[in-house]
Structure 1
Amino acid sequence: MEGIKQSLLVAVLAATLLLSPLVVSGDDDDTGSVKPVVKIVKGKKLCTKGWECKKLSQYCCNQTISDYFQAYQFENLFSKRNSPVAHAAGFWDYHSFITAAAEYQPHGFGTSGGKVTAMKEVAAFLGHVGSKTSCGYGVATGGPLAWGLCYNKEMSPSQSYCDDSFKYTYPCTPGVAYYGRGAIPLYWNYNYGKAGQALKVDLLNNPEHIENNATLAFQAAIWRWMTPDKKHQPSAHDVFVGNWKPTKNDTLAKRVPGFGATMNILYGDDVCGKGDDEHMNNMVSHYQYYLDLMGVGREEAGPHEVLSCGEQAAFNPSSGTPASTSTSS
């Protein structure tokens, strides 16, 4: 009788296991990802994917950033940002980055292409961020590349960065200075004005909002990454993920898709077309370092001509108004 009871118990357990939902191993389930909700609109597959990708988009059918880049990885990339000597200790965090990124993931930020392409874009974007906000130096504890997000503003501005030629479109507010603030620092009244319009925040009158709100600071940087400088030009996002096809003039100017072209768009001839430039090399080093820490590997970064902009002519040659520089300057 006891043997029959045991047999029945085994049978019940087996049936329970068969009826239980199984977790299938795969990219989404390995990370606890939210599965996309798929809709077919005019024959095209579009998706939403929870809070992180809530606008109907083809990109929301892909993995989202939190699927492959999590809080512990953010901590690894910016391991010294909360050091007692960091100038913005306690300001930057993973939640602020992911919250800011959620606005742009339906537009392809970190969600374009397959997982490797998406991870590379996040590493590239953060490579700019880390380089521009670093207080690392050669013998710094943890190495010079471990100190990204040390700053959230320029510490010793040399001027107010008010360009009066924009007085009819982005007039400077009396007593307000438009020095570098943020993750990819904003400089000049017209840049604060454009970013404020896009983000629906009055940054022209209140530029300090950028240094007081980490999510807004990341949003402004991602907006800059995703937005072309001029019509008929690509954004940094476009040149990185393959949305941009160089023209004959681009080829003659040695502009090719990749990380180098992102520097060209964001900083122009401040860093590009100068050969072996120190600031350019610093950004490349941060990008490669982050690829390694994210498990992608720097070998995925591509050859020198893709990584560098040392030989590239600027998309928009300087007219004498300096572009953004490091917030540590």
Structure 2
Amino acid sequence: MATAAAAKIIAARVVNKALVLAVAAAHLPHQAPMVVVVRRWLIVTQEFFSGIINQAPSDCVGKNFYTRDGFINAVNSYSDLGKRGSVDESKREIAAFFAHATHETGYFCFIEEDEATRETACRPSTDYPCNPDKKYYGRGPFQITWNYNYGPAGKSIGLDLLNSPETVASDAAVAFKTAIWYWVGNVRSVLSQGFGATTRAINGAKECDGQNSAAVQARAALYKSYCSQFNVDPGTNLSC
């Protein structure tokens, strides 16, 4: 039986082999360039996911909610997260996504915002009017908040989250889809500027430019750790 370490090495070789084959194909005569399709399950292994969630306290509700299968189901049915650019670029994007998700949820401990700080989180909106019986406080890996986020996120993934925001806290795949929706629409475009730019895009007003240096460094430390696990250089500009 292969050990976990051996399995990790085999997975890394498969991912890297895909890149080698794509480069080789691009140089063959009369051949169109091959598109590299990075299999997210080869990057986000069960070992990687468990390594995150196992750091959460045993009594965390998120330990029985967030799963690797939930993440894989979300990206396979909804998004091209981690499928653009080179293999290394894919690894860095996934490392960045998980660094922020880990930080926001305390190693996937929290599903919903702390009860003491929960608010209705409703602002007047013609396009995404609030249901007066619902609250739009933080839920999921990125703690999506406000009706003007629940509305378009739900529309994007094919659900009416304005009238059922609690679905984000009851279905792991939906929870990950909302986080991916936010990532693709608000964060992905700054990836080329370095990890620090992604922190600014997610919570810059409260953390960047000296607002909360400890949080900025905590996010960066997670990102560097995950890049190391994926055997990829984290790049520069890690702070904001």
Same fold (TM over 0.5): yes
Tell me the alpha carbon deviations over residues 75-104 of structure 1, each in whole angstroms, 9 at most, x when there is no partner.
1122234x5321323101111111111135
Q: Is the 8 A contact 2:15 2:42 kept in 1?
A: no
SS of equivalent to 2:64: coil
Is 2:219 the counterpart of 1:283?
Answer: yes
- Change in Cα spacing, 1:207 to 1:302, as seen in structure 2 (3 Å) is same
How many percent of aligned residue pairs carry the same amino acid?
28
Deviation at 1:26, TM superposition (A): 9.0
Q: Which runs of 5+ in 2 are unaligned?
A: 1-10, 26-30
Alignment of 1:265-304 (within 5 A): 265-274=201-210, 277-292=213-228, 294-296=229-231, 300-303=233-236
| RMSD of aligned alpha carbons | 2.8
> CA separation in 2, counterparts of 1:65 and 1:96?
12
- Change in Cα spacing, 1:268 to 1:283, as seen in structure 2 (3 Å) is same
Q: Is the 8 A contact 1:31 1:67 kept in 2?
A: no
1:142 alignment partner in structure 2: none
What letter matches 2:167 in structure 1? H
Q: Which runs of 5+ in 1 are unaligned?
A: 1-24, 47-57, 135-147, 229-235, 243-256, 310-329
- Count of residue pairs the alignment pairs up: 220
1:174 alignment partner in structure 2: 132
Is 2:114 the counterpart of 1:155?
Answer: yes
Instruction: Select the residue among 79, 98, 101 that pairs with 1:126.
Output: 98
SS of equivalent to 1:170: coil
Is 2:43 the counterpart of 1:71?
Answer: no
More helix by share: 2
Q: Is the 8 A contact 1:112 1:118 kept in 2?
A: yes
TM-score (normalised: structure 2)? 0.81
TM-score (normalised: structure 1)? 0.60
- Change in Cα spacing, 1:67 to 1:163, as seen in structure 2 (3 Å) is same
> CA separation in 2, counterparts of 1:159 and 1:29?
44
Query: Segments of 4+ in structure 1 off by > 6 A?
Result: 29-32
SS of equivalent to 1:74: helix
Deviation at 1:258, TM superposition (A): 1.0
Instruction: Select the residue among 194, 197, 222 that pairs with 1:261.
Output: 197
- Change in Cα spacing, 1:84 to 1:31, as seen in structure 2 (3 Å) is farther
Is 2:73 the counterpart of 1:99?
Answer: yes
Deviation at 1:214, TM superposition (A): 0.4
- Change in Cα spacing, 1:200 to 1:44, as seen in structure 2 (3 Å) is farther
Instruction: Select the residue among 39, 42, 64 that pairs with 1:90.
Output: 64
Q: Is the 8 A contact 1:176 1:205 kept in 2?
A: yes
Deviation at 1:275, TM superposition (A): 5.8
Query: Which of the pair has more CA radius of gyration?
Result: 1
